[in-house]
Amino acid sequence: MSRSPSALFQPFPMRSGMRAQAWRHQPAYRRPRHFHAEPEVNLVVRGSATLGVGAKVFALGSGELVLLQPGQDHELLEASPDLELFVFALRPELAARLGDVSRRAAGSAGQLFPEELARVSEELFAIGSVADATAVESSIVGLFQRIEPRLGRQHVLSRRAALELQADPSVSEAELATRLNATPSDVSRRFHGDIGVRLVEYRARLRLMRFVRLVDAGQSFSEAALNAEFGSYAQCHRIFQRVFRCSPRRYFAGARRELDDKLEPRES
């Protein structure tokens, strides 16, 4: 199994005051490979797209979609000239109300029937003109619920491992295997195969996103590192530097905006 390419942490671009958002793909705003805490759906309405998800690649045509895990890296690799692609996501606190619906088939592709695609695409186009946050949230939550039955199913080990890690990123691989009544090698192999990223890297991303949330909430770097389940701030700093490509101090001093807004260079 190939290793997942490097990825940036880029929160999903929600409008101010929103906990759910839908965006229509625009080539000028193509993002580099990234991950975030929000569960996200990519749906092709017309044309075709090639999506990189960790070490996996999805070739999507009209009516096909992929649901992505929090922390699962992804990137639009190729797009046909006529591509109509919608991306929609939920804030973690809103996604939590759905239970496992927003996460249980993550990283798996699905297919909408033509009549379903017509209804869903009409709703997504309409969401762009809705200013009321509650109405937008209700629509996108409903979309997550409606598409879930059309998504493929992962192996139970990878699905349950992802949920366990999201609830407790401090759990060791050995403890995780015990909880799942499996061997560590089986859990690791299934997880990498389905999610497309190594389990240890996925755990690091979850911890780093928690660290950022805790610092945003007012905790010191040292406090946040310990509460994000790092053994020390030194360990957190080392992993932060590798993943975010800058130090925590530089990130929170201004580099964060540059990373959040980073786009792929436009093709000539």
**How many CA atoms within 13 Å lie on the side-chain side of 183?**
3
Distance between CA atoms of 109 and 41, rounded to whole angstroms?
10
Which architecture characterizes domain 154-196 according to CATH? Orthogonal Bundle (1.10)
On whether the CB atoms of residues 142 and 88 are closer than 8 A, the answer is: no
- DSSP annotation of 151: B
Domains in the chain: boundaries:
8-150, 154-196, 198-268
**Averaged pLDDT for residues 184-194:** 91
- Do the domains spanning 8-150 and 198-268 agree at the CATH topology level? no
How much is the CA Rg of the chain, to the nearest whole Å? Answer: 18
At 240, is the secondary structure helix, strand, or coil?
helix
- Do residues 240 and 248 lie in contact, with contact meaning Cβ atoms separated by under 8 Å? yes
Would you state the pLDDT for residue 37? 93
What is the tens place of the pLDDT at every residue in 62-110? 999 999 988 999 999 999 999 999 999 999 888 887 765 545 555 678 9
For residue 146, is pLDDT > 60? yes
Which of the residue ranges 48-62, 200-214, 215-229, 253-267 would you say has the lowest mean pLDDT? Answer: 253-267
Q: What value does the mean pLDDT of the chain take?
A: 90
For the domain spanning 198-268, the CATH number is 1.10.10.60
Tell me, what's the pLDDT at 267? 58
Q: How confident is the model at residue 251 (pLDDT cuts 50, 70, 90)?
A: very high
Q: Identify whether the C-beta of residue 187 lies closer than 8 Å to the C-beta of residue 177.
A: yes
CATH H-level superfamily of 8-150: Regulatory protein AraC (2.60.120.280)
